[in-house]
């Protein structure tokens, strides 16, 4: 039955022609695991689009409701935390995948003629991916999102001539508020997806026109093809004459990698939580935001540049870097593709990666050294003070002695469910208790419970 349906569709849509076009593309050197990064990036983009559409069903892009809508997704919607987790970790995965794809292209010299346009479109796709990260970061409308975005927009304001105008365009006005949030939401879910979809099609079209680069070649093969001389570098040239279609081996490799990526992201979404900070408060200028890990190296760089040199880090170096990356095929005039025959290019790439990882390491070390309090624990402590619990309970020598000492209650009673039931109805859980039933919401009960569980002996 399925074959008859396929034949009927083929007779009208010429599906076999499309199939040959998509699956029979020859791969110089044969299928390889090193070629999976492009397909992995495309898979992650599709995953982000699908999870983003489901999140948008419940998200409200207004300052009054954005934060609550995200907490509603987290706490009330079936599979809400899982879908949000996939979207969150998928963003990191997409940055990693496109970075590895560009690194592989750089290492193989696959940006050289006639593939300059292919590289340039790839760089623009990388920029759009960072644009997704920046615009999506504001949407939860918590403290971290608000102040990190404020810093990012202020950095744009340091660009001469167009800085002030660019800031007003990004904010939608003079301050970061409702228009900023709705504008970032529209750019994140409408403008950027449409742009990246068009550029992905253009990227694939150029790839089909110029063909895959394949393995780098040695001197003997280049002499036979009439190309400029390049030293021979060993066994890899033996695979040059091998060519096989995209299907089935490369498709199978890509499918295995996609499945592995989905499994890893699902595991992270199920096991690693990423709680919101408090709701955005424009008046709290003491809050210090922390960007996502892929911006941490730049965050660290900004700490070293102050005063009149600040524009060097806020826009001069980034502009020079992305312009250099965009036009790299024209800057690297060496016709060789083998890394050993391109020492200058290899040194530049290695130096940049070392700088990024050193700055990232320093930033992670500094962040790890600073103790951070879970926002829920801080809210729970504030509720403990608000309702005068210290009148009956003692914590580390402070408070009354009517009720149990809570100094190490997280060790003596680590059962979270017990605390939740106890705060909902103290008399039902502890008959004869003097503790009244306080008017707490479910979230407040969870916050107070979190504070109780944090009261442990030092390790």
How high is the pLDDT of residue 110? 94
User: Does the pLDDT of residue 256 top 90, yes or no?
Assistant: yes
The larger pLDDT score, comparing residue 15 to residue 441, is at: 441
Q: Taking residues 172-200, what's their average pLDDT?
A: 95
Residue 403 has pLDDT above 80, yes or no: yes
Stretch 422-440: mean pLDDT? 87
3-class secondary structure per residue, 109-176: CCCCCCCHHHHHHHHHHHHHHHHHHHHHHCCCCEHHHHHHHHHHHHHHCCCCCCHHHHHHHHHCCCCC
Lowest mean pLDDT among 128-132, 148-152, 360-364, 375-379: 375-379
Of 62-71, 193-202, 435-444, the one with minimum mean pLDDT is 435-444
Lowest mean pLDDT among 93-107, 245-259, 268-282: 268-282
Judgement on whether residues 359 and 379 belong to the same structural domain of the protein? no
Task: Look up the CATH number of the domain holding residue 244.
Answer: 1.20.810.10
Residue 224 has pLDDT above 50, yes or no: no
Q: Is the pLDDT of residue 223 over 80?
A: no
- Asked if residue 446 and residue 327 are part of one domain, the reply reads no
Mean pLDDT of 300-316: 90
Per the structure, how many domains does the chain have?
2
What are the residues facing 398 on neighbouring strands? 395
Structural domain includes residue 170: yes
pLDDT in tens, 405-424: 998 999 899 888 899 999 99
In this prediction, residues 364-392 reach a mean pLDDT of 82
Q: What is the pLDDT of residue 371?
A: 63
What average pLDDT does the structure give for the chain?
Answer: 88
Q: Is the pLDDT of residue 230 over 70?
A: no
Q: What is the mean pLDDT of residues 92-117?
A: 96
Please tell me which residue, 1 or 213, carries the higher pLDDT value.
Answer: 213
Residue 4 lies in a domain: no
Give the residue-averaged pLDDT of 29-47. 94
- Where is average pLDDT lowest: 64-78, 226-240, 331-345? 226-240
Q: Is 241 helix (H, G, I), strand (E, B) or coil?
A: coil
Share of the chain above pLDDT 90, in %: 57
Same domain, 313 and 333: yes
Q: Are residues 393 and 356 in the same domain?
A: no
Tell me the C-alpha distance between 95 and 129, whole Å: 7
3-state SS assignment for residue 27: strand
Average pLDDT of the segment spanning 224-248:
55
Range 422-446 average pLDDT: 87
Residue 339 maps to a domain? yes
Is pLDDT above 90 for 236? no
- Using alpha carbons, list the distances in angstroms from residue 280 to 160, 176, 283, 285, 372: 30, 11, 9, 11, 18
* Residue 372 banded pLDDT, cuts 50, 70, 90: low
- pLDDT given at position 235: 44
Q: Could you tell me if residue 1 is inside a domain?
A: no
Residues 83 and 50 in one domain: yes
pLDDT band at 342 (very low <50, low <70, confident <90, very high): very high
Domain presence at residue 88: yes
5 falls within a domain: no
Bridging pattern class, strands 394-395 and 398-399: antiparallel
Closest CA to 216 of 243, 238, 236: 236
Query: What is the tens place of the pLDDT at every residue in 345-364?
Result: 999 999 999 999 999 999 99
Is 14 contained in some domain?
A: no
- Separation of alpha carbons 343 and 411, rounded Å: 59
Percent of the chain with pLDDT over 70: 93
pLDDT tens figures, 7-33: 888 888 887 787 777 778 888 888 899
- The pLDDT value given to residue 240: 47
| Measured distance CA(423)–CA(433) in Å, rounded | 12
Owning domain of residue 384: 375-454
Mean pLDDT of 249-274: 94
CB atoms within 10 A of CB 209: 11
**pLDDT digit string (tens) for 318-330?**
999 999 999 999 9
pLDDT of residue 306: 82
* Same domain as 360, residue 384: no
Q: Which residue has the higher pLDDT, 293 or 1?
A: 293
Tell me the average pLDDT across 238-246.
67
Same structural domain, 336 and 425 = no
Say whether both 239 and 299 belong to one domain.
yes
Same domain, 358 and 390: no
**197 shares its domain with 306:** yes
Task: Indicate whether 145 pLDDT > 90.
Answer: yes
Residue 12 lies in a domain: no
Q: HSE (CB half, 13 Å, CA atoms) of 73?
A: 24
- Mean pLDDT of the 273-290 span: 83
Kindly state whether residues 335 and 429 are assigned to the same domain: no
pLDDT at 432: 81
Is the pLDDT at 237 greater than 70, yes or no? no
């Amino acid at each position: 039955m399925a074959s008859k349906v396929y034949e009927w569709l083929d007779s009208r849509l010429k599906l076999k022609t499309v199939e040959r076009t998509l699956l029979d593309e020859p791969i110089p050197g044969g299928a390889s695991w090193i070629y999976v990064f492009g397909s992995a990036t495309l898979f992650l983009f599709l995953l982000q689009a699908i999870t983003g559409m489901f999140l948008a069903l419940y998200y409200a892009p207004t300052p009054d409701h954005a934060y609550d809508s995200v907490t509603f997704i987290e706490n009330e919607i079936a599979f809400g935390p899982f879908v949000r987790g996939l979207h969150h970790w998928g963003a990191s995965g997409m940055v990693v995948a496109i970075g590895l794809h560009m690194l592989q292209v750089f290492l193989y010299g696959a940006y050289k003629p006639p593939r300059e346009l292919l590289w340039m479109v790839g760089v623009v796709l990388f920029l759009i991916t960072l644009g997704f990260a920046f615009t999506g970061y504001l949407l939860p409308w918590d403290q971290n999102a608000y102040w990190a975005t404020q810093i990012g927009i202020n950095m744009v304001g340091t660009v001469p001539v167009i800085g002030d105008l660019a800031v007003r365009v990004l904010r939608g006005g003079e301050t970061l508020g409702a228009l900023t949030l709705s504008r970032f939401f529209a750019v994140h879910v409408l403008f950027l997806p449409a742009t990246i979809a068009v550029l992905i099609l253009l990227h694939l079209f150029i790839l089909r026109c110029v063909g895959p680069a394949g393995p780098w070649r040695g001197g003997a093969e280049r002499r036979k093809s009439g190309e400029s001389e390049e030293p021979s570098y060993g066994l890899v040239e033996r695979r040059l004459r091998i060519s096989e279609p995209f299907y089935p081996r490369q498709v199978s490799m890509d499918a295995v990698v996609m499945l592995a990526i989905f499994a890893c992201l699902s595991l992270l979404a199920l096991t690693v939580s990423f709680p919101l900070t408090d709701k955005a408060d424009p008046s709290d200028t003491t809050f210090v935001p922390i960007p996502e890990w892929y911006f941490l190296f730049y965050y660290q760089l900004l700490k070293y540049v102050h005063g009149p040199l600040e524009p060097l880090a806020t826009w001069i170096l980034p502009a020079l870097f992305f312009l250099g990356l965009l036009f790299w095929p024209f800057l690297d005039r060496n016709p060789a593709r083998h890394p050993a025959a391109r020492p200058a290019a290899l040194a530049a790439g290695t130096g940049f990666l070392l700088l990024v990882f050193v700055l990232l390491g320093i930033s992670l070390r500094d962040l790890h050294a600073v103790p951070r309090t879970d926002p829920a624990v801080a809210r729970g402590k504030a509720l403990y003070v608000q309702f005068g619990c210290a009148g009956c309970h003692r914590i580390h020598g402070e408070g009354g002695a009517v009720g149990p000492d809570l100094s190490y209650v997280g060790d003596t009673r680590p059962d979270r469910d017990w605390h939740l039931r106890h705060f909902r109805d103290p008399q039902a859980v502890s008959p004869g208790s003097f503790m009244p039933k306080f008017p707490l919401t479910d979230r407040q009960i969870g916050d107070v419970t979190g504070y109780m569980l944090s009261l442990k002996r030092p390790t």
